[in-house]
């Protein structure tokens, strides 16, 4: 056979390989699109203020649909897919309805995927100016007795790469536009998402609070998700009564605090422990001689204050700080002229991939505000990775105790 006679045969073999590669790549892209859209729905579902039972039932339906749909579609279209594999066509011979649905799914995924890529932490878009210094300590070495209280927790703590007890104490110099010069250097210890589930010994939370007090901050703030199970109510006083700061200790509740039969029990016990309830109210606080407006936003699980009818509306405030459980209230703070917002809820994604960062995040904005320091005029937002969790697993996402030192630009 001459070289000229062999070329068409070789070319035909190469084209066949390319076609098969194209089929595999196309199916993989469609599957990634399917799972990506369901992940986006899951994130938004857990940002809703629905009752927990509704969310859990919806999660079950969503999980079943996520896995069953590809199986059913593959079975239903298997003859068409086999014919496509054996042909040289660039598009499978799908019915018009299936083709339209596939194209629509790919188009939606393309738009959302571009936005997802834009907001990856590696690009630091809309991040605030901040200098971080983190010290990591394994709290199991600093408390008497084992921290896991259940078999499930002991098993989770032994898993490779699980950082659930590797506390990161983050000392952050945070530049806050609009900060009065009198508050330059003001120090805030920020705690969030304690999650007293009964799985972890209360000695863990006590040690965290002790470390916050050792910093001798000007103010201590706690942004919700304190108690998950009734047993946690009995631990509140022993954990939080040791907290003290010159300008007091303020707290709000989060969505997990609704899991207790009566969330007001959490509020009462926190108040008995010396903390001030900021949930759904607006207070005037003097900090370094300046009147500062403190706001508690627990929406959508509880109510948020109507600032237009607040009791102190006639007083001029030099600065406003909002404690919000969810970072989803970022735009609300911006529209109300809040200069500093502290939030939690998202746990930093619970796990973070290299470069891509967090994937899971219970927020209407997905993983955009999963953790870190952000600025959108006029509001600077700090989102903590939180300290505990119902899911006893943290991968490349250590629990975080923050000390914020506010700085003028």
Q: What is the CATH number of the domain that holds 323?
A: 3.60.21.10
Closest CA to 194 of 204, 181, 184, 179: 204
Let me know whether 169 and 259 are in one domain: yes
Q: Which of 118, 138, 170 is the last residue of a domain?
A: 118
Q: How many CB atoms lie within 10 A of CB 157?
A: 18
**This prediction's pTM:** 0.93
* Between 12 and 252, the higher pLDDT residue: 252
pLDDT of residue 315: 57
- List the structure tokens of 209: 């609070």
What is the overall mean pLDDT for the chain? 93
- Cα(52)–Cα(54) distance, rounded to whole angstroms? 5
Which of 74, 95, 118 is the last residue before a domain boundary?
Answer: 118
8 A C-beta contact, residue 177 and residue 378: yes
3-class SS of residue 243? coil
Tracing tokens 């001029």 back to the chain, one arrives at: 316
Instruction: Please tell me the predicted confidence (pLDDT) of residue 5.
Output: 45
Shared domain for 111 and 150, answered yes or no, is: no
Q: List helix spans (H) across 119-240.
A: 151-157, 203-214, 236-240
Pairing state between β 249-252 and 276-277: parallel
User: Where residue 20 falls among pLDDT bands split at 50, 70, 90?
Assistant: confident
**C-alpha 81: how far from chain center:** 39
In this prediction, what percent of the chain has a pLDDT beyond 70? 94
CA distance 70 to 67: 6
Mean pLDDT of the region 164-175: 98
Q: What is the domain range of residue 208?
A: 126-407
39 and 183 both lie in a single domain = no
Cα dist from 398 to 105, 272, 368, 377, whole Å? 35, 30, 18, 29
Same domain, 108 and 130: no
Kindly report, residue by residue over 50-82, the tens digit of the pLDDT: 999 999 999 999 999 999 999 999 999 999 999
pLDDT of 16 reads: 55
Angle at alpha carbon of residue 204, lines to 226 and 157, rounded to 5°: 105
In angstroms, the CA 36 to CA 54 distance is: 22
Residues 91 and 183 occupy one common structural domain: no
Shared domain check, 139 and 107? no
Summarize pLDDT for 308-336 with one digit per residue, the tens: 544 455 456 889 999 999 999 999 999 99
What domain count does the chain have? 2
Looking at residues 172-178, what average pLDDT do you find? 98
Same domain, 139 and 109: no
Q: What pLDDT does 318 receive?
A: 86
| Residue 14, pLDDT above cutoff 70 | no
């Amino acid at each position: 056979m001459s070289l000229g006679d062999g070329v068409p045969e070789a070319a035909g073999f190469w084209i066949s390989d390319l076609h098969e590669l194209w089929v595999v790549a196309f199916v993989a892209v469609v599957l990634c699109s399917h799972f990506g859209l369901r992940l986006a729905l899951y994130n938004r579902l857990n940002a809703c203020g629905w009752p927990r039972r509704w969310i859990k039932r919806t999660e079950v339906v969503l999980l079943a649909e996520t896995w069953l749909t590809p199986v059913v579609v593959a079975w239903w279209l298997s003859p068409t897919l086999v014919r496509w594999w054996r042909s040289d066509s660039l598009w499978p011979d799908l019915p018009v309805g299936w083709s339209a649905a596939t194209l629509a799914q790919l188009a939606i995924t393309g738009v959302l995927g571009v936005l997802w890529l834009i907001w990856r932490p590696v690009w630091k878009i809309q991040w605030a100016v901040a200098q971080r210094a983190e010290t990591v300590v394994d709290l199991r070495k600093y408390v008497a007795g084992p921290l896991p209280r259940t078999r499930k927790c002991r098993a989770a703590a032994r898993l490779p790469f699980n950082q659930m007890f590797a506390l990161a104490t983050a000392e952050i110099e945070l530049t806050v536009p609009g900060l009065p010069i009198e508050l330059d250097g003001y120090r805030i210890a920020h705690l969030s998402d304690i999650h007293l589930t009964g799985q972890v010994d209360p000695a863990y939370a006590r040690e965290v609070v002790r470390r916050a007090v050792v910093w001798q901050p000007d103010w201590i703030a706690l942004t919700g998700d304190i108690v998950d199970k009734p047993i946690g109510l009995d631990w509140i006083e022993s954990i939080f009564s040791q907290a003290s700061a010159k300008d007091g200790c303020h707290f709000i509740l989060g969505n997990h605090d609704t899991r207790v039969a009566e969330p007001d029990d959490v509020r009462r016990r926190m108040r008995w422990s010396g903390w001030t309830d900021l949930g759904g109210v607006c207070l005037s606080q003097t900090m370094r001689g300046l009147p500062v407006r403190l706001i508690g936003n627990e929406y959508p699980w509880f109510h948020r204050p109507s600032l237009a009818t607040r009791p102190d509306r006639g007083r001029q405030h030099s600065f406003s700080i909002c404690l919000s459980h969810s970072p989803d209230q970022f735009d609300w703070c911006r529209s109300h002229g809040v200069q500093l917002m502290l939030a939690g809820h998202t746990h930093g994604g619970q796990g973070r991939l290299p470069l891509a960062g967090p994937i899971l995040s219970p927020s209407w904005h997905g993983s955009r505000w999963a953790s870190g320091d952000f600025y959108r005029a006029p509001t600077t937002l700090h989102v903590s990775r939180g300290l505990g969790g119902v899911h006893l697993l943290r991968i490349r996402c250590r629990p975080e105790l923050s000390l914020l030192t506010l700085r003028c630009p």
